[in-house]
């Protein structure tokens, strides 16, 4: 058998070297790419964290604003400035009744529409105590 010509071995070495170069180059580029991805992901998450903190801060600010607006003293002041005339009910304005007021009102309405018998009214569901407050008090 004839030995391979000497340039075949050289060619192989050159090819292998080239492969190695391409491989290491790919590895290097891959490492750079991964590093870049880490960098951009870290920065993106940092931006998101900052945004989240910002939103939370603003939420706190809004909460504080709402709390100030809902303070009993503020509400009463607003009641005066807007001339709403809202007042807490007084005992004399309150009639306490058995059963659910919604059911009673529904029965009343239905009675007017369909002329339901009083039997139907009596069989209506009864819940706990409820109270009815008149709208105005001179």
Partner 1 sequence: MSKGFASNFRMTLIAVAVLACFLGVGIRLIFLHVIDRDDLLKFVNKARRQIVVEQARRGAILDTKGALLATSRSFVVVGVDPEMMNPEDIKSWPEMARLLKLPRAELSGVLQNSMKVGRQALANSLTPALENKRVRWVKLAEEVDEDVYDQITKLKVRGVYGARNFKRIYPGDTLAAHVIGYVNKEGVAVTGAEHHLDIYLKGEDGWIESEKDGARRELAQFRSREVPVQDGNDVVLTIDSVVQYMIENELKLIADKYRPKFATIIVSEPHTGRILGLANYPNYNLNAFEKAPLDAQRNNAVTDIIEPGSTFKIVAAGAALDLGIVTPASIFDCGQTSILYKNRQLKLPKEDEPFENLSVADIVAHSSNRGAAQLAMLMGEENFYSYARKYGFGQSTKFQLGGEVRGILEQPKNWDGLTITRMPMGHSIAATPLQVHMAMSAVANGGTLLRPQILKEIRDAKGNIVRTFAPEKREQVLKPSTAAVLAQLLHRVFTEGTAKGFEIPGFELAGKTGTTQKIIDGKYVSNRHVSSFVGFFPASRPEVVISVIVDDAKMSKGIAYGRAVAVPAFKHIAEQLIQYLDITPLMIPTSGALASNGGAR
- CA–CA separation, 77 vs 57, rounded Å? 28
Q: Under rule CB under 8 A, which residues in 43-82 are in contact with partner 1?
A: 43, 45-46, 54, 56-58, 60-61, 63-64, 66-68, 70-73
SS3 label, residue 117? coil
- Helix spans in the chain (H): 6-70, 72-81, 101-114, 118-122
Which residue of 7, 81, 91, 115 would you call a contact of partner 1, by CB under 8 A? 91
Q: How far apart are alpha carbons 103 and 123 in whole angstroms?
A: 11
Query: Of these, 1, 82, 92, 113, which contacts partner 1 (CB under 8 A)?
Result: 92
SS3 at position 71? coil
Q: How many chain residues interact with partner 1 (CB under 8 A)?
A: 40
Is residue 23 within the footprint of partner 1 (CB under 8 A)? no
What is d(CA 118, CA 31) in angstroms, rounded to the nearest whole number? 86
Least CB distance to partner 1 at residue 42 (A): 4
> Toward partner 1, which CB reaches closer, 120 or 132?
132
Least separation in angstroms between CB 27 and partner 1: 20
Q: Which two tokens stand for residue 9?
A: 């071995």
Count CB atoms within 10 A of the CB of residue 107: 20
Q: Does 134 bind partner 1 (CB under 8 A)?
A: yes
95 binds partner 1 (CB under 8 A): yes
Q: How far does the chain reach from its first CA to its final CA, in angstroms?
A: 126
Q: Which residues bind partner 1 (CB under 8 A)?
A: 35, 38-39, 42-43, 45-46, 54, 56-58, 60-61, 63-64, 66-68, 70-73, 88-96, 129, 131-138
């Amino acid at each position: 058998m004839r030995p391979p010509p000497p340039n075949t071995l050289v060619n192989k070495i050159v090819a292998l070297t080239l492969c190695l170069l391409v491989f290491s180059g790919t590895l290097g580029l891959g490492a750079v790419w991964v590093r870049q991805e880490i960098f951009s992901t870290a920065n993106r998450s940092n931006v998101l964290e900052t945004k989240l903190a910002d939103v939370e801060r603003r939420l706190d600010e809004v909460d504080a604003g709402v709390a100030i607006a809902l303070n009993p003293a503020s509400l009463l002041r607003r009641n005066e400035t807007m001339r709403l005339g809202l007042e807490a009910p007084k005992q004399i304005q309150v009639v306490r009744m058995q059963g659910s007021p919604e059911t009673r009102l529904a029965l009343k309405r239905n009675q007017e529409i369909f002329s339901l018998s009083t039997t139907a009214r009596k069989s209506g569901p009864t819940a706990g105590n409820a109270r009815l407050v008149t709208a105005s008090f001179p």
